[in-house]
Structure 1
Amino acid sequence: MAFVALVALAAFTSSWTGIALGPLKVSDAFAVLALLLGVLGPFRRELNVRPWMFVPIAGAAAVLVVHIIFGSAPAEVGVIDLGRTFLGLTVVALLSLSLHYAEAVLTLKFWVLGAAANALAIPLTSAGFLPASGLASDIDISQRAVGLAFHPNSLAFSTVVAIPFACMLLFRHSRGSERLVWTAVLALYVNGLIAADSRAGLGIGLTVLFISLVIAMAATRWAALVVPIGILSLVGVIAWLLPYLQSTTRLGGQLGLLSDAGRDAYNAEGMHRFAQNVWFGAGFDEAIGTSMYVHLLSKFGLVGALSYFLFIGAVVVLMISCARGVDRALGLLGVVAALAFGVLQPGATERATYWGAMLVIAAWHSRRDTSSPLARLRSVRPDSRQLMRRGFAGGV
């Protein structure tokens, strides 16, 4: 139970990028403790280790070694980046896929609620219940909110990637009280996106919310009736909301144009640095670019960037092969949302990025894996096959 509790806390706090415990983000501290407990604790967990989990860290390490040999990057900067890659990708995959069904669903709920807590911090800070100083000292939060993140764009990113999974939980539970919770979570997400005033967050987030709701509604019993009414209602809400967003956020006005000019210059410089060393990039301390893809190429070159996308490819393949129905569709949408956001923002190793997808894979994989003790226990139930078909509908 201690292992699961630490993993759940790591997921819950993964979007709180503005909160640190010494040199580690708070989520990193919980993740490291969970990993140590799983390996060294008195109740050691059989960790689900797979080679693809270590491909990004291997690629980044290879790039670092090359730059150290040729003296083009200080070792300490590279080690910090290796740590981010390890904690944001490898550790998240390792911990998530070591969970059984009920543990994975519980942790998924914690992760979704953690992103909601990030957004909830916005009104609490405005009301004076939470201190504004120290969360993001270089951001004027009177103009853009940060929640518990270090930057408004980080708040927006963690919100966007959580939206499909909040919709998954909303439509996969029949109890009214639970549906009220996930509905409130989605409302907090929308408010968080507006308050963060990230154009990528608003544009991609509202699009992802629309698609997620349509996918989830299409899987309901009354889909033929619910989907047309739902689509018309969503279109009406967007049509009502869009003028407000254009007049009150950075989607309209000159600030967005100025931001675009700066982004174009940064990305052009990033591609120039990538062109100077196509295979291994410009070095860990020379990376530049506001796009995740440009940033990866300028920092790691093709070697590091390909290792990152091999990891993403493994996640997609596992989602397709393990999950079914609406869970698979929304899980894939969560990955696509992260990649789409990456076109406009860097954040390849944000801690919150792949928790949702990994936990859905873990839940479905443990349902199908009859070698685990929990799966063998479930197999004696008369309705175990029906529960497997229903996926998350059985709850926890």
Structure 2
Amino acid sequence: MMDRRNFAAGVSRLGNSSATDSRAGSRNRVKARTSPASAGLHSSVSSKAFTVFISLSALTSSWTGARTIYPLYDAFALAALAMLVYFWLARLVVLRIPFWVVLPSFVAIALAPIGAILAEVPGVALGSAIGFASRIVFTTAVPAVLILVQAQLSRRRLRWIAGAWVAGVTLNAFVALLTSVELVNVEGIVEGTTGERAFGLAAHPNTLSLSVALACPVLVTLFLMRGRHVLVRLLSLAGLLLAVNALFTADSRAGLVVGLPALLVSFLVIAFREWRGGFALLLVPLIAIAVIMLAPVVFFQSRLSVNLTRDLSYIRRAELAGAGIETWAQSPIFGTGLTSASGVSVPLLLLSAGGVVLLAAYYTFPLALLSRVRGVPVSWRAAFVLMLLAVLVFGLLNNGYAERVSFWFPLCLVAAYPRVSNRDLSRLKRIT
């Protein structure tokens, strides 16, 4: 049975260990010289700092274009991982990570040498393959491990992390609005695709579109859920308006195809679940009228209406898809190497890089999350499922396997509730 006492108490216990305990030896005698008060303060500061770094990682997960020497998200995630290593070396926690959390990363790292060894410049090719694998690690394993450990220390603080994720996406959409009306110039601050399409703090409009598409179900839930404070509803409504604007100013075809349906379905499902009766029944015809009136405008004023035979983007995507299929056909099981990845969708890219093995390992992660939906509270289930489906569908239309923003909020929901997360947290046992 997992010890659920708080982190501070755990460190204080270690600080008060008897110096005569024959099993602990000199290590416990050293810890015995530390006062309970100082040990408790140390653990409190450390655990809060750990939460702060995780929250900053969640906040900046959609800011792929914002960087100093290193991308902000990766820098904060590495800081949190460094603290986790310290906890482990100090024997404050023992990490036994669930298999589904590390499977995509393990397979990607194992496949990295394939193709690189036989390349003309093996060192460069291996470095590129490791870079490919590291992006999978930082997208799946890193946020999962950090959140599961945080849940062991304090489930209550998971709200801070989830809130930071929503705030980061909303701020990204706000910056996109400011840049689209030329009130702010982010050149030199953000490294991203320039042009008429807005991208906010992201490196590409597709990243901005994915992040706001994922945020829409969350913002709708916060806006419609019963018992929410008026301020929460107003902030959620403002976030929704910014998200919808970002979908159009980013002008990502995948973002529009995924984001707008996610928004509409969220309103319908959550309204019926939270407001059974006249309001929910009134919402259906209103949404139907809005869709009928706005659908032609959305189609003809976006890149969805571009002639497929003339648009260079479509032509290039078709060429990459063909190259990806040819590459995968050379080695269907293990792929031809991570350096030879090609394609415009996540499945095709993974197949060409690591074959069926890498594809199956990667999709184990979101499917494992989906399998835990029954433990998520009813009020959040619709948002939970819609977010994961949005990631999967967006991946069919774009190469977004390395988008750091993808799984933060679903992971927080999974870890926040004992009914769904105990089978994972039971494998993270603290030394007592």
TM-score (norm 2): 0.79
- Matched letter for residue 36 of structure 1: A
Distance in 1, matches of 2:309 and 2:391, equals 21
CA distance in 2, matches of 1:115, 1:354: 13
- CA 368–63 in structure 1, closer or farther in 2 if over 3 Å, else same: closer
Q: Who wins on radius of gyration, i.e. which is larger?
A: 2
Identify which range, 125-134 or 310-319, moves more after superposition. Answer: 125-134
Matched-pair contact (CA < 8 Å) for 2:414–2:421 = no
Separation in 2, partners of 1:9, 1:165: 19
How much does 1:371 deviate? 12
The match for 2:260 is 206
- Give the secondary-structure state (helix, strand or coil) at the position aligned to 1:273: helix
Matches within 5 A, 1:90-129: 90-98=141-149, 99=151, 100-125=154-179, 126-129=181-184
- The one-character-per-residue Cα deviations of 1:217-274 (angstroms, maximum 9, x if unpaired) are 1221x31222221122222223332233233221224379623333222112101100
Number of the residue aligned with 1:34: 80
Alignment counterpart, residue 62 of structure 1, candidates 98, 110, 130: 110
Q: Which residue of 1 aligns with 2:59?
A: 12
Report matched runs for 1:225-244 at 5 Å: 225-244=278-297
Q: How many residues align?
A: 367
Offset, 1:8: 1.0
**Higher mean C-alpha deviation, range 360-369 or range 174-183:** 360-369
Who is 1:85 aligned against?
136
User: Are the structure 2 counterparts of residues 257 and 192 from structure 1 closer, same or farther at C-alpha, using a change threshold of 3 Å?
Assistant: farther
- Per-residue Cα deviation, 1:361-392 (whole angstroms, up to 9, x for no partner): 111238975999xxxxxxxxxxxxxxxxxxxx
CA deviation profile, 1:131-170 (whole Å, cap 9, x unmatched):
2345345x333x2111111111111111112222222322
CA RMSD in angstroms comes to 2.5
Aligned mates of 1:43, 1:15 — CA distance in 2: 33
Query: C-alpha separation between the residues in 2 aligned to 1:371 and 1:158?
Result: 26
Paired position in structure 2 for 1:278: 332
- 1:356 aligned residue: 409
Please name the residue that 2:300 is paired with. 247
SS in 2 for 1:307: helix
User: How many Å separate the matches in 2 of 1:367 and 1:183?
Assistant: 30
Residues 1:165 and 2:218 are matched in the alignment: yes
Residues 376 and 420, structure 2, Cα contact 8 Å, conserved in 1 = no
Aligned-partner SS, 1:21: coil
C-alpha distance in 1 between matches for 2:93 and 2:276: 42
- Could you say which residue in structure 2 is the equivalent of 1:380? none
Question: Once the two structures are superposed, what CA deviation does each residue of 1:279-298 show, in whole Å capped at 9, x if it has no partner?
Answer: 22232222111111111111
Q: Give the match's secondary structure for 1:16.
A: coil
The aligned runs of 1:169-184 (5 Å cut-off) are 169-172=222-225, 173-184=227-238
Per the TM alignment, residue 30 of structure 1 is displaced from its structure 2 partner at its CA by 0.9
d(CA) in 2 for partners of 1:313, 1:326: 21
CA distance in 2 between partners of 1:167 and 1:32 (Å): 32
Q: Any gaps of 5 or more consecutive residues in structure 1?
A: 373-396
